Amino acid sequence: MKKIVALILMVILAALPLMVEAAGSLDTHFACAFLDIKFQCGCTRTGTGAMISRYGMITAAHNLYCSTHGKPLEYCNFLFGAKSASSGRKRYEGHFTYRVYETFKNGYNSLNDIGYVVFESPIGNSTGWFAWRAANDSYLKNKFVTIMNYTNNARINSYYSTLSVRNNTQVTWSSVPAGGEGGPVFYQSADMEFPEVVAVYACTAADGSAVGCRITDQLYYDMKADGAFN
């Protein structure tokens, strides 16, 4: 009997992502989490993260390490599909691990301001998740993308802009979203079933343009090694 229950559960778990596919669209708001963050140095901030697998969420590194003091998280609360700082469609309070590509030991540096969270349970089965692409320069150049982020009071914003390649790890665009960084920069054409994340919103540059850190092959390999796609 137990075996049958386990088998049914497995079938249900396997079927859930297909239900998302069958819908032919992703609720991008639900797949984005409002982050309520405190670091071990005592600093607090809010930010945005985006699910890109059942277990994996990408965000800016400065949401996981304090960009002023180079200290890791004391805690981070995740509210998916947030409507306000205290209400939303799903809250995650379980365990998670994380990895960053910049720890800000010498202050803020935007070059590798990207990182990811691996949740202990497959929260993506509820929220859905974005497709993603480690895109090359020619793919990214002049792409018309959407940038999503939560404001400090947890209201979701969508911006639309054309990308330029800044360097090997960054893209840039003219429109600057206000509020919590770490949200997805994604592309979707009419023939694509799912929006495809190509970068995360990292910061505003000195000239006022916005900067995003690109999804890299390394990110994919590391997430795979950390079990983010199990």
Q: Which residues bind Zn ion (CB under 5 A)?
A: 39, 41, 43, 66, 68-69
The one-letter code for the residue type at 102 is: E
Q: How far is the CB of 116 from Zn ion (least distance, A)?
A: 21
Burial of 225 (0-12, 13-18, 19+ CB in 10 A): exposed
- Of 72 and 94, CB closest to Zn ion: 72
For residue 80, what are the contacts with CB-CB under 8 A and spacing of at least 6? 30, 31, 32, 33, 34, 51, 88, 89, 90, 91, 92, 123, 126, 127
Q: How far is the CB of 67 from Zn ion (least distance, A)?
A: 8
Q: How far is the CB of 40 from Zn ion (least distance, A)?
A: 8
- Of 51 and 66, CB closest to Zn ion: 66
DSSP strands (E only) in 40-191: 44-51, 56-59, 73-80, 90-92, 96-100, 115-119, 131-132, 144-150, 156-162, 164-165, 170-173, 184-187
- Of 66 and 219, CB closest to Zn ion: 66
- Of 14 and 41, CB closest to Zn ion: 41
Q: How far is the CB of 71 from Zn ion (least distance, A)?
A: 6
Q: How far is the CB of 212 from Zn ion (least distance, A)?
A: 23
Closest by Cα among 29, 62, 58 to 46: 62
- Of 23 and 41, CB closest to Zn ion: 41
